[in-house]
Copies of this chain bind each other. A is one copy, B any other.
């Protein structure tokens, strides 16, 4: 039985019993009072809200008459099932990729490029580390810690970034935050309002929305032109550029060294210009040497480095980090120093142990092998399929691009796949100009979370759709 909190002191003119009746009715309709729940007795409610018992009896009588509650002799009043009367949105849910979506049919194979493997996560290690962190009733873990994130964790990240990505920084220049979007918001606050940001197109819609949401003018330019078409960059009058030089999303391009140098030169030309390097999934490269970061060759302090553990550990971890050049770091302390990192401290400690104990690099190596074999398997499966016109973006990351030979449009193809239980997206979904139908249908095939049999199953369904078999 729930206690009812009924406010009778508002300025309403309606009689008391009616206000009680309306309140309870609202509770039932909204589902806050659930079917079968017992109402307080008239005597109890009358006492609690300081009205006469007859007033409550009048209210209950009305609810009874209208079928909201029912009386059970000697037991009391119970809430009726009113679901038939009112649709409630209480059971809505969202898909794994975070977008609200009416499910036409259950999802059998999910080719989303954002998914990672969840089967080979070192649960045992993580459990052990969690236990160890929580073991000693360490009281300081409950208190707000360092505003930028714990020093010990930042030091480990600094070391990892230096070793693996050639990033040059101090731990004091690293800021931890819960996810890229949060850090992008922070960055927009730090860099100040009214800026114009160049962004390669197609790209990450989330980043586009986040910066637009912060009032920035985001100017999409064709991927591959940043650092090559100087004139275009000048006419855009931008003072920021968001780039993914080591592995462009979703195309998978690597930015040539000459373009990198041009970009850095552009950034140096005027005060306040910065490059935002999103190094989202550069851990996964299956052929050739790792591509060092742009930050590592920046001598002018113009590169802001953005990294994440979403792809290398798990998206649900919500740990990303910014590396700021010294000048911006100084400004951060003045402008944003009052923010406390959004990453919970226990989580930081566990991640610290995961990095410091060498588990992270072991995990990365294992996953690199696993993803490589899925990548190779998928490539092999695609070969020889008639509708596969061209494969690109291979040898790195967690998805590849397939240009399909079909009379269907990209959106039709994706919709039909979805109706058959295959979640898949086309390149149009990542077009920042909103131009969703653009040339030949191109599919993003993510394999991060899929076993070989699932890859086969998904491709077979695509075969059937494209070859117009039922």
Interface residues of A (CB under 8 A from B): 2-3, 5, 7, 9-11, 26, 30-32, 88-94, 96-100, 114-116, 118-119, 121, 123, 126-127, 130-131, 134-135, 137, 139-148, 151, 155, 158-159, 162-163, 166, 168, 170-172, 177-179, 181-182, 185, 189, 193, 205-206, 209-210, 213-215, 257, 261, 292, 296-297, 299, 314-319, 333, 335-347, 449
Contact = CB atoms under 8 A, between A and B. Distances in A.
A441 B107 CA distance: 65
14 contacts: A10-B261, A32-B170, A90-B171, A98-B338, A99-B147, A118-B143, A119-B139, A121-B137, A178-B344, A193-B215, A209-B338, A215-B215, A316-B346, A318-B344
A266 B147 CA distance: 37
A277 to B, nearest CB: 15
A3 B193 CA distance: 41
A175 B162 CA distance: 37
Majority DSSP secondary structure for residues of A touching B: loop
Contacts of A319: 344
Given A97-B144, A143-B316, 19 more contacts: A9-B297, A11-B261, A32-B162, A90-B170, A98-B340, A100-B147, A114-B144, A116-B143, A123-B134, A127-B134, A127-B135, A130-B130, A142-B315, A145-B316, A179-B342, A205-B338, A210-B339, A317-B344, A318-B344
A142 B166 contact: no
Contact of A134 (B126, B141, B143): B126
Contacts of A299: 10
A406 B344 CA distance: 41
Contacts of A141: 316
B144 A30 contact: no
A139 B123 CA distance: 9
Nearest to A3: B163
B118 A142 contact: yes
A11 B299 CA distance: 11
Nearest to A193: B215
Contacts of A11: 261
B333 A345 contact: no
B181 A339 contact: yes
A171 B209 CA distance: 25
Contacts of A144: 96-98, 114, 315-316
Contacts of A178: 178, 182, 318, 342-344
6 residue pairs, one from A and one from B, having the closest CB atoms: A178-B342, A118-B139, A316-B345, A142-B314, A5-B166, A144-B315
B93 A7 contact: no
Contact of A297 (B7, B121, B205): B7
Contacts of A135: 127
A5 B167 CA distance: 9
A166 B7 contact: yes
Given A121-B142, A151-B93, A206 B98 contact: no
B172 A89 contact: yes
